């Protein structure tokens, strides 16, 4: 059974509230997981587990957290993702808006990229929202 975008948003909101201990009004579409909601590295695994359970899907870690690209010398030079690396990221993370990151693609800033909206688009792509 496919879900509406609102239903997907609600389930993601619940997962984030439970995983991060934030209030529901903090989980806005534009909120970034790290900067606004205070997610730390261990939280991402917790969030992935909750989303997998809520939507009955498998989430390969590399789809949401492309560490293999960000730690590959072929795609990173002097702490900056190369244009080829950015292309790889865009290909892998079509659900995420990388336009801001692209302007100054420092690896250290990548962690603060994902927003609630990105998560919604990712899940919508997985479950086929109506």
Partner 1 sequence: MRWFWIDKFVEFESGCRAVAVKNVTLSEDHLHQCLPAYPYLPASLIVEGLAQTGGLLIGEYNRFTERVVLAKISKAEFHGLALPGDTLTYTAELEYIKDDGALVRGTSHVNGQLQAEVDLFFAHLDDRIEEEMFEPVHFLNMLRTLRLFEIGRKADGERLEVPSHLLEAERS
Min CB(123)–partner 1 separation in Å: 16
Give the residue with the Cβ less far from partner 1, 16 or 119. Answer: 16
Q: What angle do CA 108, 114, 116 make, to 5 degrees?
A: 155
- Give residues in contact with partner 1 (CB under 8 A): 18-19, 21, 42-43, 45-46, 49-50, 52-53
Min CB(77)–partner 1 separation in Å: 26
Q: How far is it, in rounded angstroms, from Cα 109 to Cα 124?
A: 25
Min CB(1)–partner 1 separation in Å: 21
Min CB(19)–partner 1 separation in Å: 6
Give the residue with the Cβ less far from partner 1, 21 or 35. Answer: 21
Cα-Cα-Cα-Cα dihedral sign, residues 75, 72, 41, 62: positive
């Amino acid at each position: 059974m496919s879900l509406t975008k609102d239903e997907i948003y609600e389930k993601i909101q619940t997962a984030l509230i439970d995983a991060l201990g934030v209030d529901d009004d903090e989980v806005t579409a534009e909120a970034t997981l790290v900067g606004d909601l205070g997610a730390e590295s261990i939280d991402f695994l917790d969030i992935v587990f909750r989303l997998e359970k809520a939507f009955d899907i498998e989430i390969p870690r590399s789809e949401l957290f492309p560490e293999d690209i960000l730690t590959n010398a072929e795609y990173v030079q002097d702490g900056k993702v190369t244009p080829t690396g950015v292309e790889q990221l865009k290909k892998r993370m079509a659900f995420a808006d990388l336009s801001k990151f692209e302007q100054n693609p420092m690896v250290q800033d990548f962690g603060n990229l994902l927003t609630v909206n990105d998560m919604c688009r990712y899940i919508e792509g997985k479950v086929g929202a109506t």
